[in-house]
Structure 1
Amino acid sequence: MTLMKAAVVPEANAPWELRDVPMPETGPHQVLVKIHASGICYTDSLLARDILSYRPFPLITGHEGVGEVVAVGEGVTSREVGDRVGLPITQKPCGRCAFCRERHAPSFVTANNCVAPVLTGVNVDGAQAEYIAADADGTILLPDGISYEFAAPTVCAGYTVWAALRRADAKPGARVAVLGIGGVGHLGVQFAKAAGYHVIAITHSPEKHDLARELGADDVVSDGAGLKAAGGADVLLHTAPTHAPAIDALQGLRPWGKIVLMGISADDGFPLPALTLTSHSYQVIGSAHNGPEYLTEALKIVARGDVKPMIEVFPKEKVGDAYQKLLDGELRFRAVVQY
C-alpha cells in the first residue's frame, strides 16, 4: 500500500494533523491529481467543528485544491496526464434523480438539490492532501499564467464573488458596493473594478480603508449612511459574516437596486424590511457559484493579473497553524497550503 501525507481532522473541534494515509486509486472516469496547493475555506471550519455534518470523522477537507493530473482512469477523454486542474466543491451529481434529469450545470444549487451529489472535501475526501482521485468532469482546466497559489483561492472564494457579480447582471458603469473586506470581499472589490464598475467598499474597520482603496475601491464607507452619502449603489455584494451590516447598508441602495447574498453566515436569520424592499423595488438574490463557466472566467481574470488574491502560504507541515489562524481571524486573507 502506497502512503501519502494528508491533513486529517481526527474529531470535531480538534487540531488538524498531518498524517500518513493511503493514496487513493484512480477509478473509471476519474483522474489522479498531484495537489500542489490547496486553500482553506471558512466552510472547512464548519465541517471540522461539526456545524455542518455530512459524514463521520476523521475527515480530509479541502475544496480549493489545484494541481497536475498524473494518471487517468478508464473512459477518461477530457483530461490528460500533465493537465493543470482545479477541484471545485461540486464534483459530480448523481445523474439519476428528478433534479439531475433536468440537466443543470454543476453548482451549489446542484449540491443542494441532487439527492446524492459527490462533494469534494465534504462527503468524500478533499484536497488537503498530496493526491486526490476525482471525477474528470469535476475538475476544471487552469489557464496558462496562473500560479497554483493564486488559483487555489479562486476555485472557491474567487468563483463565489465573480459568479455573484455576474448574477447581478449590472449595467455598464453601475455602482457596485462590496460589504466586508475579508477573504471574499477583498476579491469582490478587485473583480468589480476589473469589470469596469464604480466600486464602493463598505467596512466598519478603519484600518482596512486604505487597503480597500489599494485594491481598487473608488470610495470607502463605514455603513449604510455613508453609502447613501457617497451616492449609493445599484448592486450590493454581501460578503460579510453577519447579516446586520447588510440590512443597514440597504439605506444606501439606489431604487431598483439588487442585494446579492453568497456564502454562509453565522446568523441564519435575514430580517428584510418589507416596506423598504417594496417601495424601492429592490431585488434580493441568492448566488451559489451558478455554473463552471463563471469559474473559468474568474481564473482567466486572475491569470491576466487584474485580480490578485491576498494569501498566506504555508508548507503542508504547518497546515495546523494555517487552520488555527483562520479560526482566530488572523489571516489576510486566504490560507494556501503547499503539498
Structure 2
Amino acid sequence: MTTVAAYAAPAAKAPLERTTIERREVGEHDVLIDIRFAGICHSDIHQAREGWGDAIFPMVPGHEIAGVVSEVGPGVTAFRVGDRVGVGCMVDSCRECENCRAGREQYCTGGGMVGTYNALGKDGEPTYGGYSQKIVVDENYVVRIPDGLPLDVAAPLLCAGITTYSPLKRWGAGPGKKVAVLGMGGLGHMGVKIAHALGAEVTVLSQSLRKKDDGLKLGADHYRATSDPKTFEELRGSFDLILSTVSAPLDFDAYLSLLRTEGTLANVGAPEEPVSLNLFSVLGGGKTLAGSMIGGIAETQEMLDFCAEHGIGAEIELIDAAGINEAYERVLNSDVRYRFVIDTATI
C-alpha cells in the first residue's frame, strides 16, 4: 500500500479537509498515475452532501482526472511510464455482461460499474477519487490524453466532455440539425463547443442573457433567455435535439414543446428531486424524453481524440486545493466560468 495526500469529506455536508489515504500496490494490469489536475464536477457536491442518497465516508471526490503514468504492472500493454492519461467516472465493471462487451461499461448490468469514488471495488474496499496525489487504476479503464490537449483543460473532459459528447453523437447532432443546449455551466459550455464542432446549428437556452457573449464566443449561433415567455412562443417546434444539462427540476412540458416532430430531449443533468410530466407532451409529436450517462471507455477515447482534433478544452479556473470548499459554494451559486480545476500539486 502507498500513502498519499488527499482532500476528503469526513461526513455528509462536512467541509473537505486535507488527509491521507492508502492506494493499493500496482497489480498485474494496473497503472499508477501521478495526478496533475482534477476537475470539480457538480456531481462531487451532490455526493459529498448526500443529495443523491446515502454515501460512503470519508469520501475523496473527483472523477475528472488528468495525469502522467509513473508505474505500470508487468501485464500492462496499453500504457508506458510517462504517458499522459485520464480517468473518468468509473474504474471497473463486470466486463462480461452484454453492455460491457459492447463498450457501454457505464450501463454494466453485472453488478454495475464501479465508480471512481463513493463506491466499493471488487476487493470490497471503498474507492477514492481524484482530489489526491496518485491513483491506481486497471489499464482497461484508463484513457490516453492526446498531446494537443493541455492536461488542465483536458481534465473536465473526462466527465463534462464525455457526458455531452455521447448524447450529441447518439442523437445525431451535425450538419442540418438544430440543437439546443439547456444550461450554460460546466456541462453546458462543453455541449456548446462539441455540438458546434459536430456541425449543428446551436442555440443556448439559459435563464438569462448574462452569459450570452461567452456562449456566442464558444460556438453558439443563438442565445435565448428561458425567463422570457417569448422564447417559448417563438421557438415552439424548432429543435431536433435539446440537451438538458440542468441539475434542477424543469417544466418538461414547456421544453418538450420546443421540439420538432419526433425530436428528442436528452437529459444529462440529474436533479435531486423527482420531476413531473404530462405524457401528452411526448405523445403529441411522437417526441422522446431520454437520458444519458457519461459514455463507455472507447467512446471516451473517441471524444478526447475529437476534442484534440478540434482544439476543444474546457474553460477553467485553476485553484489550489485549499480553495475546494469555497469552490463548492461558488458552483452552487453558478459563480464559475466554467469549470474549477484543482492543481493537485497543492494538495
What is the TM-score normalised by the length of structure 2? 0.88
Q: In structure 2, do the counterparts of structure 1 residues 289 and 2 end up closer, same or farther at CA, with 3 Å as the change threshold?
A: closer
Q: Which residue of 2 aligns with 1:173?
A: 176
In terms of mean alpha carbon deviation, does 193-202 or 298-307 score higher?
A: 298-307
> Are residue 267 (structure 1) and residue 273 (structure 2) matched?
yes
Q: In structure 2, do the counterparts of structure 1 residues 246 and 307 end up closer, same or farther at CA, with 3 Å as the change threshold?
A: farther
Q: Which residue of 2 aligns with 1:41?
A: 41
Distance of 2:217 and 2:314 partners within structure 1: 13
Q: What amino acid is aligned across from residue 259 of structure 1 in structure 2?
A: L
Deviation per CA, 1:277-304: give whole Å up to 9, x if none: 2221112222122323332232233324
Distance of 1:201 and 1:64 partners within structure 2: 24
Match of 2:111 among 99, 112, 115: 115
Distance of 2:217 and 2:232 partners within structure 1: 19
- 5+ long unaligned stretches in structure 2: 120-126
Q: Which residue of 1 aligns with 2:102?
A: 104
Match of 1:158 among 153, 158, 161: 161
Match of 1:283 among 276, 288, 291: 288
Q: Is the 8 A contact 1:150 1:302 kept in 2?
A: no
> Are residue 26 (structure 1) and residue 26 (structure 2) matched?
yes
Q: Is the 8 A contact 2:141 2:297 kept in 1?
A: no
Distance of 2:7 and 2:62 partners within structure 1: 9
User: What secondary structure does 1:202 align onto?
Assistant: strand
- Shift in Å, 1:239: 0.9
Q: Is the 8 A contact 1:93 1:106 kept in 2?
A: no
Deviation per CA, 1:32-89: give whole Å up to 9, x if none: 1000000111111122112345753111121111101101123222221111111011
User: What secondary structure does 1:85 align onto?
Assistant: strand
Q: Which residue of 1 aligns with 2:64?
A: 64
Q: In structure 2, do the counterparts of structure 1 residues 42 and 77 end up closer, same or farther at CA, with 3 Å as the change threshold?
A: same
- 5+ long unaligned stretches in structure 1: none
Q: Which residue of 2 aligns with 1:185?
A: 188
- Shift in Å, 1:305: 4.8
Q: In structure 2, do the counterparts of structure 1 residues 188 and 283 end up closer, same or farther at CA, with 3 Å as the change threshold?
A: same
Match of 2:144 among 141, 145, 155: 141
> Are residue 195 (structure 1) and residue 201 (structure 2) matched?
no
Q: Is the 8 A contact 1:258 1:285 kept in 2?
A: yes
In terms of mean alpha carbon deviation, does 44-53 or 249-258 score higher?
A: 44-53
Q: Which residue of 1 aligns with 2:257?
A: 251
Q: In structure 2, do the counterparts of structure 1 residues 55 and 2 end up closer, same or farther at CA, with 3 Å as the change threshold?
A: same
Q: Map of 1:292-303 to 2, 5 A cutoff?
A: 292-303=297-308
Distance of 2:232 and 2:83 partners within structure 1: 45
Distance of 1:2 and 1:173 partners within structure 2: 53
Match of 1:312 among 313, 317, 325: 317
Q: What amino acid is aligned across from residue 51 of structure 2 in structure 1?
A: I
Q: In structure 2, do the counterparts of structure 1 residues 106 and 62 end up closer, same or farther at CA, with 3 Å as the change threshold?
A: farther
Q: Is the 8 A contact 1:232 1:254 kept in 2?
A: yes
Q: What amino acid is aligned across from residue 114 of structure 1 in structure 2?
A: G
Q: In structure 2, do the counterparts of structure 1 residues 312 and 171 end up closer, same or farther at CA, with 3 Å as the change threshold?
A: closer
Q: In structure 2, do the counterparts of structure 1 residues 40 and 199 end up closer, same or farther at CA, with 3 Å as the change threshold?
A: same
- Shift in Å, 1:4: 2.5
Q: CA RMSD in A?
A: 2.3
Q: Which runs of 4 or more aligned residues in structure 1 lie more than 6 Å from their structure 2 counterparts after TM superposition?
A: none
User: What secondary structure does 1:280 align onto?
Assistant: coil
Distance of 1:81 and 1:171 partners within structure 2: 38
**Identity level (%):** 31
Distance of 1:229 and 1:167 partners within structure 2: 27
In terms of mean alpha carbon deviation, does 257-266 or 283-292 score higher?
A: 283-292
Q: Is the 8 A contact 1:228 1:253 kept in 2?
A: no
Q: Map of 1:123-138 to 2, 5 A cutoff?
A: 123=119, 124-138=127-141
In terms of mean alpha carbon deviation, does 166-175 or 320-329 score higher?
A: 320-329
In terms of mean alpha carbon deviation, does 289-298 or 256-265 score higher?
A: 289-298
Q: Is the 8 A contact 1:24 1:131 kept in 2?
A: no
User: What secondary structure does 2:202 align onto?
Assistant: strand
Aligned residues: 334
Deviation per CA, 1:182-221: give whole Å up to 9, x if none: 1111111111111111111111122122322222211112
Q: In structure 2, do the counterparts of structure 1 residues 107 and 265 end up closer, same or farther at CA, with 3 Å as the change threshold?
A: farther
Q: Is the 8 A contact 2:46 2:52 kept in 1?
A: yes
Q: What amino acid is aligned across from residue 117 of structure 2 in structure 1?
A: G
In terms of mean alpha carbon deviation, does 223-232 or 148-157 score higher?
A: 223-232
Q: What amino acid is aligned across from residue 245 of structure 2 in structure 1?
A: T
In terms of mean alpha carbon deviation, does 158-167 or 69-78 score higher?
A: 69-78
User: What secondary structure does 1:150 align onto?
Assistant: helix
> Are residue 210 (structure 1) and residue 216 (structure 2) matched?
no
User: What secondary structure does 2:257 align onto?
Assistant: helix
Distance of 1:5 and 1:266 partners within structure 2: 31
